[in-house]
């Protein structure tokens, strides 16, 4: 039987599925990602920074006038996806995590103040709304490197004791 993380020739696969705990640990270790929501019945994506709470909620800040905030305020049970990754472009290794769940505005003033201290805006725009995503579905993959293909064999090197006269002519 072929192990689940191997191909039939024994080489490593290009991706390995992550468990929920590992995916959330990786997500918590990076500061930014992309939130995906519906805008006029089409998918929309915004890059944001985030915090992952101990209970798994993903928290972001946005503007009251943003499309994301408008979508969430219009439907307090709006489903969004949040994606983050860390991929090395040279080795094509790393990971990618997607959290899908309900997004809600955070209303508690103490929590809002805490997140305002933790999440600094990237732009001069006022980020006056805090949104939390409760993860329902968490998926992730680790991108693993392919086995290195062997190059041509190295030329033989004479032993250090070989003398010029000892070499074949």
Tell me, rounded to whole angstroms, the distance of Cα 111 from its chain centroid. Answer: 25
Q: How many residues does the chain have?
A: 169
Token pair, residue 134, equals: 């409760």
Nearest to 51 by CA among 139, 132, 106, 122: 132
Q: Which residues, in sequence order, are bridge partners of residue 139? A: 98
Q: What pLDDT shows up at residue 58?
A: 97
Residue 159 has pLDDT above 60, yes or no: no
Task: Tokens 């033989």: give the residue.
Answer: 156
End-to-end CA distance of the chain: 53
Domains and CATH numbers, the chain: 19-144 (2.30.110.10)
pLDDT, one tens digit per residue, over 73-113 is 656 678 899 999 999 888 888 999 999 999 988 889 999 89
Global pTM value: 0.72
Per-residue confidence (pLDDT) for residue 136, from 0 to 100: 96
H/E stretch holding 44: strand 42-52
CA 109, CA 107: separation in Å to the nearest integer? Answer: 6
Averaged pLDDT score across all residues of the chain: 78
Per-residue pLDDT, 166: 46
pLDDT score, position 78: 85
Q: What are phi and psi of 11, to 5 degrees?
A: -75, 150
């Amino acid at each position: 039987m072929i192990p689940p993380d191997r191909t039939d020739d024994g080489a490593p696969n290009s991706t390995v599925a992550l468990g929920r705990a590992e995916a959330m640990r990786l997500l918590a270790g990076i500061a930014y990602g992309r939130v995906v929501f519906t805008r006029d019945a089409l998918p929309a994506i915004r890059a944001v920074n985030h915090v992952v709470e101990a209970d798994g909620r993903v928290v972001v800040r946005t503007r009251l006038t943003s499309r994301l905030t408008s979508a969430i305020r219009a439907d307090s049970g709006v489903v969004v996806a949040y994606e983050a990754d860390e991929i090395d472009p040279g080795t094509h290794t790393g990971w990618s995590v997607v959290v899908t769940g309900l997004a809600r505005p955070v209303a508690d003033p103490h929590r809002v103040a805490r997140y305002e201290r933790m999440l600094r805006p990237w732009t001069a725009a006022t980020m006056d709304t805090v949104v939390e995503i409760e993860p329902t579905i968490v998926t992730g993959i680790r991108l693993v490197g392919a086995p290195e293909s062997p190059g041509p064999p190295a030329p033989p090197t004479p032993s250090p004791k070989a003398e010029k006269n000892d070499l074949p002519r």
